Chains A and B, each alone.
Chain A
Amino acid sequence: MSAFSAPFLPTLVRRERASLAATLLAPPVALAVATVLNLGLYLLIGRDPVAVVYAMLFEPFLSWASFSEVLLKTGPLLLIAQGLAIGFRAKVFNIGAEGQFILGAIFASAIPIWFPQATGQWIWPMMLLLGVLGGALWASITAFWRVRLNANEILVSLMLSLVAAQLLNYLLLGPWKDPNGFNFPQSVMFQYDAMVPVLIAGTRVNVSLLLTLALSIAAWLVMQKSFLGYKLQVGGLAPRAAGYAGFNEGWAIWLSLLIGGGAAGLAGAAEVAGPIGQLQRSISTGYGYAAIIVAYLGGLHPIGIIASALFMAALYIGGDNAMVSANLPIAAVRVFQGSLLLAYLIAIAFVRYRLEWHRPIYRSKP
């Protein structure tokens, strides 16, 4: 039964095949459109658009100090986005990476908070592992209810993020509060061995970036080459064909969510054991949500995601710069991110579909 289609309005018709050139062009076109729209916005709120663009899009790349900060931000975004993309391609929409990130940070922090005197090089790897465990456990709640009751994973995972944020609040205001911290909601500072070793001297970039790149290659192998990735993809594209071929849908949901949750948890652990060095309320500046944009902007392709994560990280740093040098409100950065995703989704829709205009068909008697 076809939907009622109004005369004069065009309909979207799927293209025979999407051209590679158009697919590759979509992100830059989306960026250009979003930039122009936002420039208009900056003008409206009375900021100098040239200064904003310079601060946001160029400054992050112009000094080693700020570029190293870009690399630092790339880590968690890249890691979370790679994990989410695997699920998104299987049409499992885990929107709760933010919560899984927080749980990863909490699990990892347990060691330095409970054993502040412990020493040894085993501590930080163990923290990262606990982070994976925490994120995966949090995601498994979503998986369980989805498989068991067919509860929508978008809602469950999103709401669990709010629960995770409150859990973090509780720990920081209660049992895990630093007794010598002047009542600030934060934990003790972690000991030296609880910190991931620095990779590039003089910056905050640490070994977890290497780990993230290695996992990106692994994600590429899984999604493009492996039996497992093939099964997940079939499940996403054609659930009934997957069932007929004997691929278990519940298994695909569990796997997608565990991978996404584990990756987000690892990112959370790497943040507290890296640049932050303690558990505090502001461990995430919306990485879990921004990573959704990163994943789609990268075309859900592991290689594309590396580029989009780098870009999104630059946008974070550039937004900070613009706040300082061009007096831009923090919300403007979020608006930019949001309009970028919107522009990209529209662009990619036109890569896959074309508009078809119909001659109006009169069914009425005049």
Chain B
Amino acid sequence: MTNAVLDISGVSKRFGDNLANDNISLSLGRGEIVALLGENGAGKTTLMSILFGHYVPDSGKVLIDGQELPPGKPRSAIRAGIGMVHQHFSLAANLTVLENVMAGTESLWRLRSDTDAARQKLEDISTRFGLIVDPDARLGDLSVGEQQRVEILKALYNDARILVLDEPTAVLTNLEAERLFRTLKDMAREGLSLIFISHKLDEVMAAADRIIVLRGGRKVAERPAKETNKAELAELMIGRKVARPVREPSTPGEVALKVTGVSVSIDGVERLKSIDLSLRAGEILGIIGVSGNGQATLAHLLSGTVRRDKGDIVLFGEPVGDLSVEGAVQAGIGRIPEDRNNEGAIGEMAIWENAVLERLPRFSRHGLVDRSAGQAFARKIIDAFDVRGGRPATRTRLLSGGNMQKLILGRNLIDRPRILLAAQPARGLDEGAVAAVHERLLQARRDGTAVLLVSEDLEEVMALADRIQAIVNGRLSPAVAADKVNATKLGLMMAGEWNEEHEISHAL
């Protein structure tokens, strides 16, 4: 590529023993979107930090329009037209959009700022790239998606021609992510060149023209998006073949959990509206829906942390009224919370203390915690569930997300629960960990556990669940058999259109 706007050639960077970037080269054409794909620690962010002048490379150079960029000088990078949109925004919540965009662009010695010209420039950029934001809105009042738009605008305001986005969808909902990708494509059409960093296969396939895969600090592959597929990318990214497991046919057993007509209000807002579901031993029931439609409340209801307004919950044939946490654990309900960092585990406590968290009564005698029994329990989980990176006394926050999730899965599955409640169990994990979590859920199903899987990931639900219900605005659709639906039909269900599915649910 001769008319590349950006050329990175032979860049290496070492941190101590760790070779973060090993002789990486890449080029970016005008109006092109390149995705930098790799797992956490593959070297993506290091490479971009070198591009932006935060780090000085040990060897190699960066060329912009054929001109070499002096290393380690962010100011030169900005002057050359590189803009960076960080995962964590560097914006001030108490300023307006316009003030945020202007911040740092004017000389300190000028007495008054030229707001009118700035407003004009911002509006021009806004309309040209379709990034519509009210310039006078206070930043703190905007949604995360809109804040990101401001961050992008700010880079464009500084005349960026090459835009680097670091994991731009990490903080966005699915809908906002789709909108972002449409915007990125518009921007590319207008002549901007974009690099975005990601570890999600779906989005690099959806948004990029070309995909560069990094692994262990090395560039392992480069593919035009049209000539590759997710399976190949996953294998390149991880370095071995990982196939997510898929359920095999089975016959479900008795009804373990039956919920009829349950409504739940939280702070006066009705989050669940007269929902019905029934869950059998040895099956996985998938609850699919766009985040914020009541699935969190459903998971909390069955975990015993919220109370119902009306309706009945029947566990193993016996009405239970409201579930309490203790009651749920004693009844053999394993619980995987949606938010593993805040609800599932306490980072500042030891692994063993997290292992016994909900099962404390079992590990206390005369009111004292039996430390050695707790540690033995943790050791059992670590061995059986392949939790890497810690011993029972290690602080839990030192574990990676995947290993933390294995710990949480382990403490629930090691007792062979009769019901397993899994809320977004693979969210935010890398591909290898996703496969491991899925395998555990299927193993629980084989062992006769009734699994309720709450997820936003269509693919995950279609691969694992026997039956699927959609949750929309607090209402739950009737169940459909997973092998009788396709993604289109599920998409319609997630949009609230399920009237025609009635026959199927009656047939079941």
Q: Which residues of A contact B (CB under 8 A)?
A: 1-5, 16-17, 221, 225-228, 230-231, 233-234, 237-238, 240-241, 243-246, 359, 361-366
Contacts and interface: CB of A to CB of B under 8 A. Distances in A.
A240 B348 contact: no
Contacts of A17: 395, 398
Given A237-B346, A240-B339, A364-B105, A2 B305 contact: no
Given A244-B303, A246-B329, 16 more contacts: A1-B89, A1-B147, A2-B88, A4-B91, A5-B90, A227-B367, A230-B360, A234-B346, A238-B342, A243-B305, A244-B343, A244-B344, A245-B360, A246-B304, A359-B54, A363-B154
A244 B369 CA distance: 19
A149 to B, nearest CB: 15
B342 A246 contact: no
Interface string B90-131: 111100000000011110000000000000000000000000
A226 B367 contact: yes
B305 A244 contact: yes
B75 A366 contact: yes
B154 A245 contact: no
B195 interface: no
Contacts of B349: 233-234, 237
Contacts of A363: 78, 90, 103-105, 154, 158
B325 A245 contact: yes
B475 to A, nearest CB: 25
Contact of A238 (B89, B335, B346): B346
A245 B88 contact: no
B325 A246 contact: yes
A335 B337 CA distance: 49
B147 A241 contact: no
Interface in B360-374: 360-361, 364, 367-369, 371
Nearest to B102: A364
Contacts of A241: 342-346, 357
B134 interface: no
Contact of B79 (A1, A228, A237, A365): A365
Contacts, number: 106
Contacts of B159: 365
B74 interface: yes
Contacts of B325: 244-246
B337 to A, nearest CB: 6
Nearest to A228: B367
Contacts of B342: 238, 240-241
A17 B394 CA distance: 10
A231 B335 CA distance: 19
A246 B343 CA distance: 11
Contacts of B324: 246
7 contacts: A1-B91, A226-B367, A226-B368, A227-B360, A237-B346, A238-B346, A365-B158
B78 A237 contact: no
B460 interface: no
Contacts of A237: 346, 348-349
Contacts of A362: 74-75, 78, 104
A98 B371 CA distance: 36
Contacts of A366: 75, 79
A237 B344 CA distance: 13
B158 A364 contact: yes
Nearest to B340: A241
Nearest to A4: B92
B353 interface: yes
Contacts of A3: 93
Nearest to B86: A2
A227 B369 contact: yes
Nearest to B52: A361
A363 B367 CA distance: 58
A227 B75 contact: no
Interface in B139-163: 140, 144, 147, 154, 158-159
A14 to B, nearest CB: 9
> Lowest 7 A-B CB distances belong to which pairs?
A246-B325, A364-B104, A4-B92, A244-B343, A227-B364, A238-B346, A362-B75
B401 to A, nearest CB: 16
Contacts of B91: 1, 4
A211 B303 CA distance: 43
B176 interface: no
Nearest to A5: B90
Nearest to B159: A365
Interface in B392-418: 395, 398
Nearest to A244: B343
Nearest to B329: A246
B222 interface: no
B359 to A, nearest CB: 9
A241 B354 CA distance: 10
A101 B105 CA distance: 58
B478 to A, nearest CB: 30
B326 interface: yes
Contact of B105 (A231, A361, A365): A365
Given A234-B346, A361-B74, A245 B357 contact: yes
A360 to B, nearest CB: 8
B358 interface: yes
Contacts of A359: 54, 74
A317 to B, nearest CB: 38
B74 A234 contact: no
Most buried by B among A240, A243, A361: A361
Given A4-B91, A237-B349, A245-B357, A225 B369 contact: yes
A323 B202 CA distance: 75
B369 A230 contact: yes
A217 to B, nearest CB: 13
Nearest to A2: B88
B484 to A, nearest CB: 35
Contacts of B140: 1
